[in-house]
Structure 1
């Protein structure tokens, strides 16, 4: 779960409590303030407090003991590990920070897989913004952002200029929606002739397909980010706790 950009209230509370834990204000083994105490101190609603405590528990900062309350565990060992999930990176990084060129922007027929992820009928149209990203002056990956047509209206996604915001922030600000969570899938396949040409890669080298399906808090599909990565140039790494 990302806590970057201009975070919602629950994320601000998470960050405040994390800083207090790191500073020793809430030392390991101590009892965290109750929900009612946090509500009164920070002037937020109970759902906001509950959401923040859930994030802290899932990330390993605190633990719950039934009938006793929530106790501080301290800074998790993995808290300093950067989660290099491709979908999150491309959704939050401004295009101005990813040099490249715009390949396509407009309404096109949606592929079957993307249609299923967006919950759209087969052969319908969706908005596509596709960029060829370069790293070290060489083409590195192809990034495609798919949106239902109504969510693309009134945005700058048709502009040939790189976005100064991440796609998540831009769409949320313009359309009043909230990107709540991502379901990410990674598969391998051989590249198309066009991809070989665009990426300047050998024909016999496979590519990794990353599909990041973005949903709102209710589970409604909002966007799909599809990234094509040459397998000989990229390595995907993740870190997670064992519980």
Structure 2
């Protein structure tokens, strides 16, 4: 069975700018076109262009000089241990800085997988924060954070207001511990009835589900972040050195 995959708009812009840098059309040290120029050329909204440029900056393709603009660096070398991973991005993402709708901030019974990741007994109570993420008006992700109730109670994590800082900062403050590492699990499955409605997909659609378990230096898990992604709107890519 064949199907046609169309990457999100920001991913298309990233790919095109990377191509232009690789081909020498945009030489190292040259000034990158402005946000407004890119918006006009590609017919994209400013948030889409800003997201693409942010990814290129984080990956080392371009550099920003305050008051001067963005400049080309060239194809980046792969830095050992410094690549931003999916789980890290989920922990550091600020709810107020993405186009999202908070769906839940409530105490609930932990699903078996979540209870296992957090080292809790079956059917233990957890605090769930869940949001629907959109890009260009299209739902692209359901993001959920699961924490032990005793960690989240009485903090901003339990309130129905968007978090102004990344989840990591709130969890570390509430737990009185520093998050040291993340263990990621990636699975694929069909959507639930609720996910079909939120993401606008059919029951036969394939979903990518990323679980990021954030632990302290002793290995104790403090929070699980779950990202549910429609398989036809995303692809996961990673790069790392061969030793």
Q: Is the 8 A contact 1:183 1:214 kept in 2?
A: yes
Are the counterparts in 1 of residues 216 and 222 from structure 2 also a CA contact under 8 Å? yes
CA distance in 2, matches of 1:121, 1:176: 22
TM norm structure 2: 0.65
Structure 1 Cα separation of the partners of residues 219 and 118 of structure 2: 11
Counterpart Cα distance in 2 of 1:131 and 1:82:
28
- Computing the radius of gyration over CA atoms, which structure comes out larger, 1 or 2? 1
Cα distance in 1, alignment partners of residues 133 and 81 from structure 2: 25
Q: Distance in 1 between matches of 2:81 and 2:197?
A: 35
Distance 2:165 2:122 in 1: 31
Per-residue CA distance 1:141-164 (angstroms, 9 max, x = gap): 111100011110232122222111
For 2:119, the equivalent position in structure 1 comes to 119
Q: Which runs of 4+ in 1 moved over 3 A?
A: 80-84
Q: Deviations over 1:188-227 (max 9, x none)?
A: 0111111010111233211011111111110011111111
Change (3 A) 1:169 1:112: same
Q: Deviations over 1:117-152 (max 9, x none)?
A: 000000111111111111111111111100011110
Distance 1:229 1:97 in 2: 19
Match in the other structure for 2:228: 228
CA distance in 2, matches of 1:80, 1:122: 38
Aligned to 2:219: 219
The equivalent residue for 1:61 is none
The aligned runs of 1:202-213 (5 Å cut-off) are: 202-213=202-213
Structure 2: how far apart are the matches of 1:230 and 1:83?
24
Count of paired positions: 168
Is the 2:133–2:143 contact (alpha carbons within 8 Å) kept by the matching residues of 1? yes
**CA contact 1:81–1:239 (8 Å) conserved in 2:** no
In 2, the alpha carbon distance for the partners of 1:83 and 1:197 equals 34
Unaligned residue ranges in structure 1 (runs of 5+) = 1-75
Match of 1:92 in 2: 92
Aligned Cα root-mean-square deviation (Å): 1.9
Q: For the Cα contact (< 8 Å) 1:84–1:236, is it kept in 2?
A: no
Matches for 1:8-157 after TM superposition, within 5 Å: 77-79=77-79, 83=83, 85-157=85-157
The TM-score, its normalising length taken from structure 1, stands at 0.65
Q: Which position in structure 1 is the counterpart of 2:35?
A: none
- For 1:97 and 1:156, locate their aligned partners in 2 and report how far apart those are by CA, in whole Å: 17
